[in-house]
């Protein structure tokens, strides 16, 4: 039986929104909120807007499409009974955000959509919740108000989630599957409800996905057998049939695609060939499903990470992690997210400090000959190209050391964007340890402490690129 759980982990990362894009979306969301608040204060002061992020972003099940588009739903709420039509309220929101981007703002049926050039859009549904109302009402263009309670659904789905996050991953796999089809498929909300109602947990994501799909199919077959019209009912207000709006063609295509995915999934699980299993899953889930070589890379990185985490790692002179007593013994530490530190400016350097820089240079080159070092003013600057594993990319590293201060480490190439998840400071220097791990003094050697930690960081960074998770020991604060 082919076990592709690790490839599903990578697939999950491939379909997820990257941290830098999430940050851009949050910045845009805040800017839009500010525009709406200011506009209503000036032109419609009797209406005070409140906001609530909802939808897949709130659930943690956001994905990006094959062409890298994603979205965020940010509801606007008015805590009063409006004396204008729902369409008018929507138009007021549209007027508030019109011109914020170079794209035309869309007045859709149930929201105002603002599109951004960075390949995402923000949908702004409009609600009112009057005193005494149990549930809010959603504005529907040219129709009226309907009961709709996104927060109630958030709480319902929260109650269904498991601690390991498998339900959320299954939802995201289903959404990616829908996105890959060339014909119209049901919404992400439909996939969320179907997955939550039929989830079949398993230690392996490939088995969990297949068994969940079969549970969905079984319910469809049961309802057909009883002569009932198959529905996907919203579990919370307004408790409507989420499939009602779709044509018979959409429903038929969805059920046929479901049958095809189950058939190929069963074959992928039962085959002894991992290459064949990859092809079967990728045929249904798309080009972002990783190739078998990626699994081998992940397993090799995990092997290195386990050696590091066990405390028995050594770093060889060519920057490879091993367990043999060859090279430099890696010191224990925790990666730490902090604001970083700046090296002080010094116009003069005394003899002791000068000796310290020379000493560090000698020891560093003796242990790691690939380093090229120069003393420039009061700093020792050392550079090397480090490739933590043979299949990994190469990294141009720069170490800056000033006598008596913890060295700063930068990656010059490739460019790595600031991201606290991967332990990079705001100045793009690496955050390699917690202050309690190392009290830097003049005798402390860069070669014995900093360089092995750089190699460890690169191993965990390569892992993070595949899985989206930082797997090294870190200080949580």
Measure Cα distances from 277 to 1, 5, 174, 184, 269 in Å: 9, 11, 18, 26, 7
User: Would you call 71 a catalytic residue per the annotation?
Assistant: yes
- Contacts for 81-88: CB closer than 8 Å, 24+ residues apart: 81/128, 81/130, 82/47, 82/128, 86/126, 86/139, 86/140, 86/141, 86/143, 86/144, 86/145, 87/139, 87/141, 87/142
Strands 321-322 and 314-315: antiparallel
| Sign (positive or negative) of CA dihedral 211, 217, 221, 227 | positive
CA atoms within 13 A of residue 274's CA, in its CB half-sphere? 13
What DSSP string runs through 414-470? S-----GGGTB-TTSBB----GGG----TT--HHHHHHHHHHHHHHHHHHHHHHSS-
**Residue at token pair 């019209």:** 229
What is the per-residue pLDDT for 285?
Answer: 97
What is the per-residue pLDDT for 65?
Answer: 96
Measure Cα distances from 153 to 63, 86, 108, 123, 145 in Å: 19, 22, 22, 18, 18
Rg of the chain over all Cα atoms, to the nearest angstrom: 27
- Rounded to whole angstroms, the Cα distance separating 269 from 4 reads 8
- Rounded to whole angstroms, the Cα distance separating 368 from 158 reads 51
User: Would you call 123 a catalytic residue per the annotation?
Assistant: yes
Query: H or E segment at 286?
Result: none
What DSSP string runs through 96-164? HHTTSSSSPPEE-SS-EEEEETTTEEEEE-EEE--TT-SS-EEEETTTEEEE--HHHHHHHHHHH--TT
CB 125 within 8 A of CB 111: yes
- Rounded to whole angstroms, the Cα distance separating 467 from 8 reads 9
What is the per-residue pLDDT for 220?
Answer: 85
Q: Which of the residues 74, 123, 206, 264 is marked catalytic?
A: 123
- Rounded to whole angstroms, the Cα distance separating 313 from 307 reads 6
What is the per-residue pLDDT for 346?
Answer: 52
Q: Six-digit token pair at 405?
A: 């201060």
What is the per-residue pLDDT for 342?
Answer: 57
- Rounded to whole angstroms, the Cα distance separating 259 from 280 reads 14
Q: Which of the residues 71, 74, 149, 264 is marked catalytic?
A: 71
pLDDT tens series, the chain, 477 aa: 789 999 999 999 999 999 889 999 999 999 999 999 999 999 999 999 999 999 999 999 999 999 999 999 999 999 999 999 999 999 999 999 999 999 999 999 999 999 999 999 999 999 999 999 999 999 999 999 999 999 999 999 999 999 999 999 999 999 999 999 999 999 999 999 999 999 999 999 999 999 999 999 998 887 665 545 678 999 999 999 999 999 999 999 999 999 999 999 999 999 999 999 999 999 999 999 999 888 888 889 999 999 999 999 999 999 999 887 788 999 999 888 765 555 555 556 678 888 889 999 999 999 999 999 999 988 999 999 999 988 889 999 999 999 888 999 999 999 887 777 888 888 889 999 988 888 888 889 999 999 999 999 999 999 998 988 899 888 765
CATH numbers and ranges of domains, the chain: 19-154 (3.30.460), 161-292 (no CATH), 299-475 (3.10.110)
**Residue at token pair 């601690």:** 163
Contacts of 355 (CB under 8 A, 6+ apart): none
Largest CA distance in the chain: 92
Residues in the chain: 477
Does the reported pTM lie above 0.85? Answer: no
């Amino acid at each position: 039986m082919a076990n592709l759980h690790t490839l599903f982990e990578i697939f999950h990362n491939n379909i997820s929104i990257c941290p830098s894009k999430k940050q851009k979306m949050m910045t845009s969301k805040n800017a839009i909120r500010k525009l709406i608040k200011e506009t209503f204060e000036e032109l419609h002061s009797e209406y005070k807007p409140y906001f609530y992020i909802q939808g897949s972003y709130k659930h943690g099940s956001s994905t990006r499409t094959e062409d890298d588009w994603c979205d965020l739903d940010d509801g606007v709420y008015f805590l009063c009974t409006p004396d204008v039509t729902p369409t008018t309220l929507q138009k007021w929101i549209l007027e508030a955000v019109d011109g914020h981007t170079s794209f035309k703002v869309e007045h859709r049926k149930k929201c105002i959509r603002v599109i951004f050039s960075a390949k995402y859009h923000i949908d702004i549904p409009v609600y009112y919740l009057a005193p005494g109302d149990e549930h809010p009402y959603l504005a529907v263009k040219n129709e009226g108000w309907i009961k709709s309670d996104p927060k109630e659904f958030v709480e319902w789905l929260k109650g269904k989630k498991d601690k390991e996050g498998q339900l959320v991953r299954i939802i995201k796999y289903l959404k990616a599957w829908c996105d890959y089809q060339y014909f119209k498929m049901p919404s992400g909300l439909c996939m969320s409800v179907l997955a939550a109602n039929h989830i079949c947990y398993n230690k392996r994501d490939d088995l969990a996905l297949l068994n969940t799909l079969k549970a969905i199919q079984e319910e469809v077959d049961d309802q057909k057998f009883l002569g009932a019209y198959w529905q996907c009912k919203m579990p919370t207000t307004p408790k409507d049939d989420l499939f009602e709006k779709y044509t018979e063609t959409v429903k038929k295509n969805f059920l046929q695609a479901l049958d095809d995915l189950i058939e190929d999934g069963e074959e992928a699980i039962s085959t002894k060939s991992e290459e064949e299993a990859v092809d079967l899953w990728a045929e249904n889930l798309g080009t972002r499903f990783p190739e078998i070589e990626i699994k081998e890379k992940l397993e090799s990185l995990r092997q290195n990470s386990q050696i590091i985490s066990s405390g028995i790692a050594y770093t060889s002179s060519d920057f490879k992690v091993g367990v043999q007593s060859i090279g430099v013994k890696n010191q224990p530490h925790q990666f730490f997210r902090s604001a970083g530190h700046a090296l002080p400016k010094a116009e003069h350097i005394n003899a002791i400090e000068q000796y310290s820089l020379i000493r560090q240079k000698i020891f560093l080159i003796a242990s790691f000959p690939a380093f090229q070092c120069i003393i420039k003013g009061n700093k020792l600057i050392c550079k090397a190209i480090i490739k933590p594993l043979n299949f990994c990319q190469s990294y141009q590293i720069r170490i800056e050391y000033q006598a008596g201060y913890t060295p700063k480490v930068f990656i010059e190439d490739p460019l790595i964007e600031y991201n606290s998840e991967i332990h990079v400071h705001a100045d793009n220097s690496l955050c390699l340890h917690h202050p309690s791990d190392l009290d830097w003094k003049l005798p402390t050697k860069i070669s014995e402490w900093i360089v092995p930690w750089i190699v460890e960081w690169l191993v965990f960074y390569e892992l993070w690129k595949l899985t989206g998770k930082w797997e090294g020991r870190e200080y949580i604060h």
